[in-house]
A and B are shown apart, each in its own frame.
Chain A
């Protein structure tokens, strides 16, 4: 199968859907040259550096029958747009009693590990999970990003896609043939029997590397990538934990009130899974600090393979 980059796969999803539906608009502070060339300046708009404005404008466009892709770029810039995102995009379908549809795709990058320092590194998806009304994606491979964005571009709700900054250039197999990945369906990225590892964003790749390494030592990890945080495929995680009896959740977002806490909470609240647990679940998360710039400190703040291995050994009782 052909291999393309994550960014290329995401672009293809948008191109295909923009070809199909002329009532689509792209807004971002930076020009996406391929889209501009194909779809022109009316539909592919470079906005002023006013994130709150174009996040809000997407809502007005949606309420007027247009679908918008708004690329906010970094999640830290997304904070500038939180009024429109949280007060309006998330609530507007509900607050107006479902009168209108709001088909919007918001994209932004998350994560650290590239010496961007605190104002350019963060993974705030759990904040968004806390404001009902948004659907939340966390695509981790070229295949997933294309399939999930394709689904998002047919969904009639505001969808936020959080894409790890360091994944954009990664390469993977993507079929030429059209496909869609449904929301709320986790992907078991590696089957295993000893420990369930639920990993988010870039940590999926770290967890897979750990699984490979530990397989050599006779330890079998099952690595689950939820792919969408809202809706969340709880059953796949619960089923796996019932099988392995051990759970490690890996997420580079801060630990406090994070998605990892929610994953452990719903798993341990499930009586059948709780009864099968052989050890207390463990979180491997980013530290509760702003991400520092200097490489040794930054590395210290974020999860890595070593920390994941330590957690796996911990739940195995070693």
Chain B
């Protein structure tokens, strides 16, 4: 389907929000205000944006270590996200999870998982739940090319295929797992050969083109809602920063590869397109940007103003009542 003007602006707005949020984390991390493992989603924003645009609150997603974009696209509160990343009591997980483990069960964001591949079995469970509820809801799981090397990936595909689960597999293929290329680590070479072997319908798209992702996800989600079984969407993309923000971690990827992908910036490309179509003007973009910057600043201030948890708070929430 053709996108309306409003849909296009929404997509652009979500991508820009993720970008600005991540840029702020980058600054704060290297200024020393944030610690731990922070994985930047910059360069991959079109995927979370284009896919999650089709999901309702009742649809559940499972994310991975590079998960801020999925949270924002699903409608998470940036203030509570930021507070979690800063380890504050007001964060989504009361400071017990940090950047890698943000979850908001109230909006169907079942959490980001830091063990590569581990979100996949969990997501099969979320889609079994959707199937049992029988309301046409779906689940989506986001994972990297690296996760496709884990047994959990293959087990989840088998189960989804066998039980016709309403599960959308979204592979964010950025070609690398830390500093190991997919060529060095994946025997099937093309990832979609694996879902294909399990008779799972699949499509590969340019993951930096938000409209391509959006359109592919639209068809996929419609299929899922009808109960036609799982779908596998491979989105080719590239991460701009090191595996996680760090002074010490080397980046061993070829420089020219990064430069080439930076020219295919998903946010910039879409901005240019919408300007050309006359849907956005430089003035409108400036206004959108200012509003997003304010929201990110507000989130940052909220986090900074929030108290740290008390040491003894570590003893809470081991079990639920």
Using a CB–CB cutoff of 8 Å, the interface residues on chain A facing chain B are: 23, 25, 42-43, 45, 47-48, 50, 52-66, 68, 83-84, 87-88, 92-102, 132-133, 135, 156-157
Contacts and interface: CB of A to CB of B under 8 A. Distances in A.
A93 B152 CA distance: 21
10 contacts: A50-B155, A60-B126, A62-B125, A63-B60, A64-B129, A65-B129, A84-B121, A93-B319, A97-B92, A157-B320
B128 A25 contact: yes
Given A52-B152, A83-B115, A96-B111, A64 B92 contact: no
A92 B60 contact: no
B124 interface: yes
Given A53-B159, A60-B121, A96 B319 contact: no
B123 interface: yes
Contact of A64 (B60, B91, B155, B321): B60
Contacts of A52: 121, 151-152, 155
A94 B132 CA distance: 27
B225 interface: no
Contacts of B132: 23, 25, 42-43, 66
Contact of B118 (A42, A64, A83): A83
A87 B125 contact: no
A47 B121 CA distance: 12
Contacts of B130: 64
State which size class the interface on B falls in.
35 or more
A94 B111 contact: no
B118 A56 contact: yes
Contacts of A92: 111
Contacts of B158: 48, 50, 53
Nearest to A103: B320
A97 B94 contact: yes
Contact of B319 (A25, A83, A133): A133
Chain A CB within 10 Å, residue with most, of B104, B113, B129, B319: B319
A58 B128 CA distance: 9
Contact of A95 (B96, B156, B162, B163): B96
A204 B151 CA distance: 39
A54 B121 CA distance: 7
Contacts of A50: 155, 158-159
Nearest to B98: A95
Closest 5 CB pairs of A and B: A60-B125, A56-B121, A64-B129, A98-B317, A97-B93
